[in-house]
């Protein structure tokens, strides 16, 4: 085995935590066409949107997103074929099976209820299905999982507030069905602090908060998210443009959930070598490596780990730091953290013994 193959094998077995994956971003073109047929949903007319001609044309179109908003258009069209609780459960399960094979032991997964509610799908159907998928992954695959409800920035704040009220009325936070809140969708355009009031309410209830920021938007999107109470930042790659903020984030130990292949597909960077992995390591900024929308961006979590290795040539101790930080900053109990840290230790020691 050559050195690169050895490292890829090491990365496959390295115990991972995923913190940034949208379950709706796991809808492959095959599944979109299948569910459209099963549920009697019309996909966009190929005469108007040629990408929807076939699985192949749709897959090819995904290789040419021009921006975040260009991607989001396809992402929202794709998820519109989800109708029944079983559809949501099957989608979540399809993600967990692949994540498990990629060495994921703990997964914190996003979902976007507002967009489904807008199509007339009840809140209970969405959360019930996704939650069922999570429970199955815990039972059958031994993963720990957390559902993170994401507000979307392209819809009115009132629609986010209505979802928040449904979450609270259903006591889904208290029961652990939903663990935390995030925000996503178009970054530049809507007010940076549009969820200020909702985040203030959530803070009173100690709900863990995260936010997509610093993907296309400049570092002020990151500082605004922190001001509103986010304790984690999704993407955050533009943090390197503000040295002072970067030092503050390093000091506070705020985790960035970095998604390298997503950054390339959405043209935030030209290649994975431009994702500021080394700068973050040198500045002591904690980050995890994630897949974001794997069915759209050409790879699941292991593909992202391997792409980082190929572009940045990290050492085993550097990978150990990344893996350990991913565990430490996960939204899980200390006992689960201890279990996962032990698994990392065993895996790294085994690799070091094999490679001498
Ligand atoms: N950014 C913002 N919103 C999203 C993304 C993303 O990468 N993926 C799904 N919704
Ligand atoms: Zn995302």
The burial class, CB within 10 Å (0-12 / 13-18 / 19+), for 3 is exposed
- As a whole-number percent, the residues of the chain with pLDDT over 90 amount to 97
Q: Which of 18, 215, 324, 329 is labelled catalytic?
A: 215
pLDDT of 3: 82
Q: Ligand 2: distance of its center to the CA of 234 in Å?
A: 7
Ligand of minimum distance to the alpha carbon of 26: 1
Q: What is the chain's mean pLDDT, rounded?
A: 97
pLDDT of 38: 96
Written as six digits, the tokens of 146 are: 């957390």
Assess whether pLDDT exceeds 70 at residue 315: yes
pTM over 0.85: yes
Digit-coded pLDDT (tens) for 65-111? 999 999 999 999 999 999 999 999 999 999 999 999 999 999 999 99
Give the number of residues written for the chain.
356
Q: If you take atom 10 of ligand 1, which residue's CA is the nearest one?
A: 185
Q: What is the band of 4 on the pLDDT scale with cuts at 50, 70, 90?
A: confident
Neighbours of ion ligand 2 (CB under 5 A): 292
Assess whether pLDDT exceeds 90 at residue 203: yes
Digit-coded pLDDT (tens) for 209-224? 999 999 999 999 999 9
330 lines ligand 1 (CB under 6 A): no
Assess whether pLDDT exceeds 80 at residue 143: yes
Assess whether pLDDT exceeds 90 at residue 5: no
Nearest alpha-carbon partner for 217 in 200, 230, 236, 196: 236
Q: Ligand 2: distance of its center to the CA of 222 in Å?
A: 14
Q: Ligand 2: distance of its center to the CA of 229 in Å?
A: 18
DSSP per-residue letters across 254-313: PEEEE-HHHHHHTTSSSSGGGS-HHHHHHHT--EEE--BSHHHHT--HHHHHHHHHHHH-
Q: If you take atom 7 of ligand 1, which residue's CA is the nearest one?
A: 292
Is 215 an annotated catalytic residue? yes
Q: Ligand 1: distance of its center to the CA of 184 in Å?
A: 5
Q: What is the band of 352 on the pLDDT scale with cuts at 50, 70, 90?
A: confident
Q: What is the band of 145 on the pLDDT scale with cuts at 50, 70, 90?
A: very high
293 lines ligand 1 (CB under 6 A): yes
Give the integer Cα–Cα distance in Å for 109 and 336.
17
112 lines ligand 1 (CB under 6 A): no
pLDDT of 356: 65
Mutate to test the pocket of ligand 1, among 160, 215, 266, 269 (most ligand atoms within 8 A of CB): 215
């Amino acid at each position: 085995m050559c050195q690169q193959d050895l490292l890829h094998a090491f990365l496959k077995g390295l115990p991972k935590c995923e913190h940034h994956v949208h379950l709706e971003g796991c809808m492959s073109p095959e599944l979109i066409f299948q569910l459209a047929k099963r549920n009697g949903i019309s996909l966009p007319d190929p005469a108007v949107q040629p990408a929807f001609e076939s699985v192949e044309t749709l897959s090819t179109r995904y290789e040419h997103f021009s921006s975040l908003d260009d991607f989001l258009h396809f992402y929202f069209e794709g998820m519109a074929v989800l109708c029944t609780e079983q559809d949501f459960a099957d989608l979540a399960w399809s993600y967990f099976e692949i994540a498990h094979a990629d060495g994921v032991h703990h997964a914190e997964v996003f979902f976007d209820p507002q967009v489904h509610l807008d199509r007339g799908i009840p809140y209970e159907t969405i959360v019930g299905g996704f939650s069922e998928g999570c429970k199955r992954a815990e039972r059958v695959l031994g993963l720990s999982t957390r559902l993170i409800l994401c507000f979307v920035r392209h819809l009115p704040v009132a629609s986010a507030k209505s979802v928040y009220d449904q979450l609270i009325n259903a006591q889904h936070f208290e029961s652990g069905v939903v663990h935390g809140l995030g925000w996503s969708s178009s970054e530049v355009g809507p007010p940076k602090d549009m969820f200020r009031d909702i985040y203030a309410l959530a803070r009173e209830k100690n709900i863990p908060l995260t936010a997509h920021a610093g993907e296309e938007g400049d570092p002020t999107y990151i500082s605004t998210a922190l001001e509103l109470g986010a304790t984690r930042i999704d993407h955050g790659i533009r943090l390197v443009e503000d040295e002072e903020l970067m030092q503050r984030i390093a000091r506070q130990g705020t985790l960035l959930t970095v998604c390298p292949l997503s950054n390339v597909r959405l043209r935030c960077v030209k290649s994975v070598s431009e994702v500021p992995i080394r700068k973050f390591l040198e500045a002591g900024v904690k980050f995890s490596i994630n897949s974001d929308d794997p069915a759209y961006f050409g790879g699941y979590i292991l593909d992202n780990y391997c792409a980082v290795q190929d572009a940045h040539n990290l050492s085993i101790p550097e990978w150990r730091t990344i893996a350990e930080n991913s565990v430490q900053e996960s939204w899980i109990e200390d006992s689960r953290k201890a279990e996962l840290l032990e698994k990392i230790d065993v895996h790294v020691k085994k690799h070091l013994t094999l490679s001498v």
